[in-house]
Structure 1
Amino acid sequence: MMSDRRIERPRSPHIVTLVMATATGALAMNVFLPSLPSIARHFETDNAVAQLVVSLYLAATAGLQLLIGPASDRYGRRPVMLSCLVVFLIGTVASLFVTTIELLLACRVLQAFAAAGMVLSRAIIRDTVGTDEAASKIGYVTMGMALVPMIGPVIGGFLDEWYGWQSTFVLTLVFGLTAFTIVYLDLNETNHAPTPSMLAQFRSYPELATSRRFWAYTMTAAFTSGAFFAFLGGGPYVSTEILGLKPSGYGLYFMLISLGYMGGNFISARFARRFGINRMMLAGNVIVATGMIVSLLLFSSGFVHALSLFGPAMLLGFGNGMTLPSANAGIVSVRPHLAGSASGLGGAMQIGGGAALSVIAGLLLSPDSGAQPLILVMLVSSCLALCATLYGMHIDRTEGPLPGSDTD
């Protein structure tokens, strides 16, 4: 069988193009978080309703990925990416003029179309390079994109104080317009073998669902990111109610996780081609599990301090940064002709599973529980990710590695 590195591939867009496309959705998710109380006051609603601006966006993102991926396999990456960015821009502009919280929530659903950047960047990379090189390029993309959740809330907080909550949506609009322009000018069509119909693409989901490799990579990604989502669900409560941190203190400590994630992305980008995606996932999951064990031992020994949580959580970010680029490269490489569908289905399962773990982590915490329930959820999730990786390596030993993955 011919190695997919010898197949003539379409021209790859510049890495900055993919970073901008991917970061658009991340900015829309993070930049306005400090403005949630202001949004609640502006629309005279309670905080629980204002929080729907976050949860509804996540739900819409998960659902849209199931449509965006197949649509790109049918109609091409470029038209679907540009169309979704246009819908995102319409929703962002409309959010500046809404008069009710219900209309703002509707605008957030439109903004969720920015998920195309995340879904299609992975498929575009897989269209243009082989499996291990895809993990490397995805690592570079996510490393650049990781800057947004690290600094977005900080910028959003200052904008809210100076100009009001609408200013964060103005920033999002400017960023989105810039991303659209760059994508329009640089992104060529990379899907040179479109499928005959959308119905055929939805029929492809059983083909993916019956692939043991697809499940191994998807479960690795879902449980790896699930540990991080669990932290998002329970970390703020532990920080404020148990550790006594102010929101600003939480934001500063959270930068440790983002820095760790960028570091893991850098390692993935540099070494995925040399060591292969399975070894990168294995090492990343071991690092995450080790960090959670250290955190659990620190709290159980009476070291109730912010660094007992955020120090090991930096290893969580680092391990995620190593694991997720390789897992996502594997997801879109199981059936290369269905890369868009695989990226959409895998991404939806990652976000859906991670959101469920965030809810579980939040429910287990109380003023008397300490931080241990949160850490245990994160540890269990990382161990399940490790098991999924080992299962994928077992498949490779029995069936042979993926084409283009010569070092696994």
Structure 2
Amino acid sequence: MDEGRPAATVRQRRGAVSLLLSMVLLGVFPLDVLLPSFPALADHFRNTRADIALSVSLFAVGIAASQLLIGPLSDVIGRKGLLLAGITVSMLGAVGCLLTTDYAYFLLFRVIQALGCGCFVLSQALVQDLFEGEERIRLRILMVTASGIFISVSPLAGTFLQATLGWQGSFWVFIALAGVVLLKACLFLENTRPVATGARPNILQSYGRVLRDADFLPYWLISAFAFACHFSFIVISPLIFMDQLQLSAYDFSLILLIYGGAYIVGGMVATLLGKHISPGHQIISGLSLILLSGLMLLYLASHFALSPITVLVPMLICTAGTTITRPASSSQAMSLFPENAGTSASAGSTVTFICGGLISALISLSPANLQSTLGYSFILLSSVALALNSRINRRAKSPRASPSVE
């Protein structure tokens, strides 16, 4: 455990794991459960499905903006209060989405919901606070794997909710789940914060300190580019399967259920690799799979007609690579500044969501060539990430002064 931090009790650890997985669920639920409702939302608000897809990207950017403030504040005033406040705001945003009949106001309340959901970035800081060493990496692998499982199940749940309660059903369920997580946070979480060091740190100074480190941002960019590959597919998947291939919402949800199986496989492989190779080599392995998936997407797009198989097979490979890459790169980044875990988590998660939101928005603007666009994006993003990882490794092998601590 980091110096000055009390070790977590067994009850704390069990409660923390349960809370963290609940936070992971709420982090992906507002995005993925709504995918089967794209046609209904487009009809209700008299907008195109591409506009609805862009609203998902906007949601991701809203989360990123919120995280910029939440993480550093949690290093000063503690995690618990901010988590409770964020969950409350997200619930209010969801209520607003249910009540409005205007698309502009719907977007506004989605942004409010996203601002509240930014509090779930504290899951990374809580891992840093309550766990140590290999436990942290194992828990992050579990969280990424659980995220994939939730992602795969959410569209199927969304199909059921759409059939029974309409598009509003996903917001009602989100409010109920958020209420449960609010209660769990009250019961299991202490108001953890760093040991007092004298002067209260300035938010800009906190960000400046972590961002000046030569390895911090590259590690998070690697994680962000891997996430952007997955997130881009999630955002445009309704356009591919429901618009271009004319699949039903149920068939679409079954395809994503298969897609989520890659997270389970990736999590198992990541756990195995963690016992035998360094985080740097884990990153290389995962990024190589993403690069391979991009090449496969281009090959299949040029030689075969668009079908669920030609899209799904490369994406299974990509998702396994994402599951291997992200826990290793984010753990390496978070280990650099354990005393500023909130700031580190916010900086990294903001970069991750901005990359995911902007890249997915750009891809969704070229609906006629989505498969090829995905392939080119995967190749570019994985190549840049591999170059960043190579740069980090070269710096590690060369003599250099340790980063200054201010």
Q: Indicate the TM-score class for this superposition, using the shorter chain for normalisation.
A: 0.7 to 0.9
My pick for the range that moved more, 374-383 or 41-50, is: 41-50
Give the letter for the 1:112 counterpart. A
Q: CA shift at 1:79, angstroms?
A: 1.4
- What is the root-mean-square deviation of aligned Cα atoms in Å? 3.0
2:78 to 54, 76, 79: 76
Corresponding position of 1:380? 380
Q: CA shift at 1:233, angstroms?
A: 4.9
Q: CA shift at 1:324, angstroms?
A: 0.8
Q: CA shift at 1:108, angstroms?
A: 1.7
Corresponding position of 1:395? 395
- The percent of aligned pairs where both chains have the same amino acid is 22
- Checking the alignment, whether the CA contact within 8 Å between 1:122 and 1:329 is kept in structure 2 is no
Corresponding position of 2:211? 209
Structure 1: 5+ residue stretches without partners: 403-408
Distance 1:198 1:156 in 2: 45
Corresponding position of 2:97? 95
- Checking the alignment, whether the CA contact within 8 Å between 1:73 and 1:339 is kept in structure 2 is yes
Alignment of 1:237-386 (within 5 A): 237-239=239-241, 245-269=247-271, 271-272=273-274, 275-302=277-304, 304-366=306-368, 369=369, 371-386=371-386
Distance 2:240 2:97 in 1: 32
My pick for the range that moved more, 30-39 or 203-212, is: 30-39
Corresponding position of 1:154? 156
Corresponding position of 1:63? 65
Q: CA shift at 1:82, angstroms?
A: 1.5
Distance 1:114 1:325, change over 3 A: farther
Distance 1:222 1:78 in 2: 26
Distance 1:135 1:156, change over 3 A: same
1:179 to 178, 181, 204: 181
Q: CA shift at 1:257, angstroms?
A: 2.7
Give the letter for the 2:371 counterpart. A
Give the letter for the 2:308 counterpart. A
Structure 2: 5+ residue stretches without partners: none
Distance 1:297 1:93, change over 3 A: closer
Distance 2:127 2:387 in 1: 27
Distance 1:129 1:276, change over 3 A: farther
- Checking the alignment, whether the CA contact within 8 Å between 1:139 and 1:269 is kept in structure 2 is yes
Distance 2:367 2:352 in 1: 23
1:118-176 CA deviation, whole Å, 9 max, x = no partner?
31111111123335432211111222233222111221222222222222211111111
Q: CA shift at 1:45, angstroms?
A: 5.2
Matched, 1:23 2:9: no
Q: CA shift at 1:33, angstroms?
A: 2.6
Distance 1:301 1:174, change over 3 A: same
- Checking the alignment, whether the CA contact within 8 Å between 1:136 and 1:271 is kept in structure 2 is no
- Checking the alignment, whether the CA contact within 8 Å between 1:220 and 1:388 is kept in structure 2 is yes
Q: CA shift at 1:197, angstroms?
A: 7.4
Corresponding position of 1:145? 147
- Give TM-score scaled by structure 2 length: 0.87
Distance 1:110 1:381, change over 3 A: same
Q: CA shift at 1:23, angstroms?
A: 1.4
Give the letter for the 2:220 counterpart. T
Alignment of 1:225-244 (within 5 A): 225-239=227-241
Corresponding position of 1:405? none
1:165 to 164, 167, 171: 167
User: Secondary structure of 1:371's partner?
Assistant: helix
User: Secondary structure of 1:212's partner?
Assistant: coil
1:159-201 CA deviation, whole Å, 9 max, x = no partner?
2222222222111111111111112111123323257777612
- Checking the alignment, whether the CA contact within 8 Å between 1:87 and 1:111 is kept in structure 2 is yes
Give the letter for the 2:17 counterpart. I
Distance 1:241 1:78, change over 3 A: closer
- Checking the alignment, whether the CA contact within 8 Å between 1:281 and 1:326 is kept in structure 2 is yes
1:50-105 CA deviation, whole Å, 9 max, x = no partner?
55642332221110111111111111111111121122222233433334334333
User: How many pairs does the alignment contain?
Assistant: 398
- Checking the alignment, whether the CA contact within 8 Å between 1:242 and 1:371 is kept in structure 2 is no
